Amino acid sequence: MNVGFVHLGCSKNLIDTETAIGKFKSNNYTIVNEEEKADIIVINTCGFIDSAKEEAINTILEMAEYKKKRCKYLIVMGCLVQRYYEDLIKLLPEVDLFIKLDEYDKLWDKIEDLIKRDIVQKSKTKTSKKISEIPVMPMFEQEEFLDRTITTGANFAYLKIGEGCSNKCTYCAIPYIRGPFISRPKEDIIEEAKELAKKGITELIIIAQDTTKYGIDLYGESKLAELLKELCKIEGIKWLRFLYSYPEGITDELIEVVAKNEKIAKYFDIPIQHISDNILKRMNRKTSKKNITELIEKIRNKIPEVTLRTSLIVGFPGETKNEFEELLEFVETTKFDKLGVFQYSKEEGTPAAKLPNQIHGNTKKSRYNKIMLAQQKISRQTLENKIGKQCEVLIENMSFDKKYYIGRTKQDVPDIDGLVYIKNQGDEKEDNILNKYKKCKITDVSNYDLIGIF
């Protein structure tokens, strides 16, 4: 039978989708990109914030329409299922099988049972556990990671080093959905990285909810720096980067490893969320304004060419005008190279949802706009400093009219950061440029992207 996949959510969720695709392929199913050609449609959902939940429900209903045509089975997996299993069974009878995160180790057994037609009634008689009772999620077996089908193209792949989160920030539902942080054994990670390199992958993006927590549960201390050094030894890997490193976990050793290893992008993604000590405390963050500012200064002193990215939340319950102005001033003076902003989303089951003084939606939107406007100016200034300079670019695509090659520098994360548009002068065949690392000169910029020539 033909199987079509719909992926929703983050890069960590994408690895689960890729692993499931690999499982179907290894069992001789044909993967198709068009839903109308699929006998089975699998949707991997996100359940993190309201907008993601709404998108997931709408997608399920949209895909259910294909059951009126060719599709025989509709399967839904992922965070939304883990969080709302019992409700989804009642509300969406169109779905033949819901698979929770803590059932991933039995994923293929459940799918085989479904296709034998005896799983439908069983799945509808199960009872789900409340959010507070969700067990630790068993991860896919290592051989399934090795069989996963990379969907991110010929050049880069995500490498997940841990599952879940133990930080328990008061606004976040992830610990209740995916359980506490569980590190993968270092040997498994290295083995998977080597297999990816053999398949032609040249860039690895190391991910976890908080990469700085890697190894604490297995080895008694953070082993991220040590892991990065081991990954740098793998032949064929040209670029390495790690995402989502909480400020309190960034050690001098980690900074030193990034500074000294040529393969590792000089890039720190540090989600600080806010800068007001009062709000940081109410968020249950394990840091302070003083610690954050000192860390940023230290990183920039040790690695002058570093790119710093952060993410912020505006409109957290009780955020006063003065606390927001403090955050805005911090953004304007710190001048992060990259910055993302979220409007606080009230998530059921989280401590912050019960806090008084919830902020009105219009106020959150206004504060979001002010931060983004300030960052747009900073971003433009940062990019303008690159005009006239040479940089290495990984060429990954072409514009529709073929006038420009499109790529990324080592300081740009795919699908998050900006791009480089390089004029196609027709000097070389496309095959000699696409999926290659090329030097170019930056000649101009837009608000978030670079423009260059070979």
State the DSSP string of 292-355.
Answer: HHHHHHHHHHH-TT-EEEEEEEES-TT--HHHHHHHHHHHHHH--SEEEEEE----TTSGGGG-
Q: Write down the pTM of the prediction.
A: 0.90
Instruction: Select the highest-mean-pLDDT range: 66-70, 211-215, 345-349.
Output: 211-215
Q: Is the pLDDT of residue 33 over 70?
A: yes
Domains of the chain, each with CATH number or no CATH? 2-132 (3.40.50.12160), 142-384 (3.80.30.20), 390-453 (2.40.50.140)
For residue 313, pLDDT beyond 80: yes
pLDDT at 111: 82
Evaluate if residue 134 carries a pLDDT over 80.
Answer: no
Q: Does the pLDDT value for residue 424 go beyond 80? A: yes
Top pLDDT among 358 and 124 is at 358
For residue 131, what pLDDT band results from cuts at 50, 70 and 90? Answer: very low
What is the pLDDT confidence band of residue 121, given thresholds at 50, 70 and 90? low
Q: What percent of the chain has pLDDT over 90?
A: 82
Cβ contacts of residue 349 below 8 Å, gap of 6+? 131, 132, 173, 176
What is the rounded average pLDDT of the residues 60-65? 96
Whether residue 453 has pLDDT greater than 70: yes
Mean pLDDT over residues 424-453, rounded? 92
Question: Which H or E run includes 58?
Answer: helix 50-64
Kindly state the average pLDDT of the residues 76-84: 93
Indicate if the pLDDT at residue 257 is higher than 70: yes
What is the per-residue pLDDT for 142? 56
| Interacting residues of 122 by C-beta distance below 8 A, sequence separation 6+ | 113
Mean per-residue pLDDT for 163-167? 93
Segment among 112-116, 344-348, 386-390 with least mean pLDDT: 112-116
Average pLDDT, the chain: 91
For the ranges 97-106, 320-329, 346-355, the one whose mean pLDDT is highest: 320-329
Residue 133 confidence class, pLDDT cut points 50, 70, 90 = very low
pLDDT mean over 226-255: 97
Statement: residue 89 has pLDDT above 60: yes
Q: What is the CA 213 to chain-centroid distance, rounded?
A: 16
Task: Pick 446 or 147 by higher pLDDT.
Answer: 446
Q: What is the pLDDT of residue 137?
A: 44
**213-219 long-range contacts, Cβ below 8 Å, gap at least 24?**
213/162, 213/165, 213/166, 213/167, 213/181, 213/183, 213/246, 213/249, 214/161, 214/162, 214/183, 215/183, 215/186, 216/181, 216/183, 217/180, 217/181, 217/182, 217/183, 218/183, 218/185, 219/183
Regarding predicted confidence, which is higher, 288 or 13? 288
Give pLDDT, residue 427.
80
Q: What is the pLDDT of residue 345?
A: 94
Q: Which amino acid is at 386?
A: K
Question: Is the pLDDT reported for residue 18 higher than 50?
Answer: yes
The mean pLDDT of 94-114, rounded to a whole number, is 86
